[in-house]
Copies of this chain bind each other. A is one copy, B any other.
Amino acid sequence: MANSTEFSPSDAVAILTRTPAILNAWLRGLPEAWVLRNEGKDTWSAFDIVGHLIVGERTDWMPRVRVILEDGEARPFDPFDRFAQAKESRGKSLEQLLDDFTRLRRENLAALRAQNLQPEDVTRRGRHPALGVVTLSELLATWAVHDLTHMHQLSRVMAHQYRDAVGPWSAYLGVLRCSGHSAP
A-side residues, CB < 8 A to B, are 1-5, 7, 10-12, 14-15, 18, 21-22, 24-26, 30-31, 33-34, 36-40, 45, 128, 131-132, 134-135, 137-139, 141-142, 144-146, 148-149, 151-156, 158-169, 171-178, 180-184
**In the bound complex, do residue A30 and residue B3 qualify as a contact, i.e. CB atoms below 8 Å apart?**
no
Q: Distance in Å from the Cβ of A90 to the closest Cβ of chain B?
A: 16
Question: Does the CB pair B153–A174 fall under 8 Å?
Answer: yes
* B-chain residues with CB within 8 Å of residue A159 when the two chains form the complex: 145, 148-149, 152
Least CB separation from A5: chain B residue: B164
Contact B11 A34 (CB under 8 A): yes
- Contact call B176/A184, Cβ cutoff below 8 A: no
Chain B residues lying within 8 Å of A163, measured Cβ to Cβ, are: 3, 5
Q: List 16 A-B contacts (CB under 8 A).
A: A1-B37, A3-B39, A3-B161, A5-B165, A7-B162, A11-B34, A22-B26, A25-B25, A141-B166, A145-B173, A148-B155, A148-B156, A151-B151, A152-B159, A173-B184, A175-B181
A14 with B30: in contact, given A25-B21, A173-B142 (CB under 8 Å)? yes
Residues of B contacting A39 with CB < 8 Å?
A: 3
Q: Are B141 and A15 in contact (CB under 8 A)?
A: no
Most buried by B among A37, A153, A172: A172
Please determine whether B151 and A155 come into contact, CB atoms closer than 8 angstroms. Answer: yes
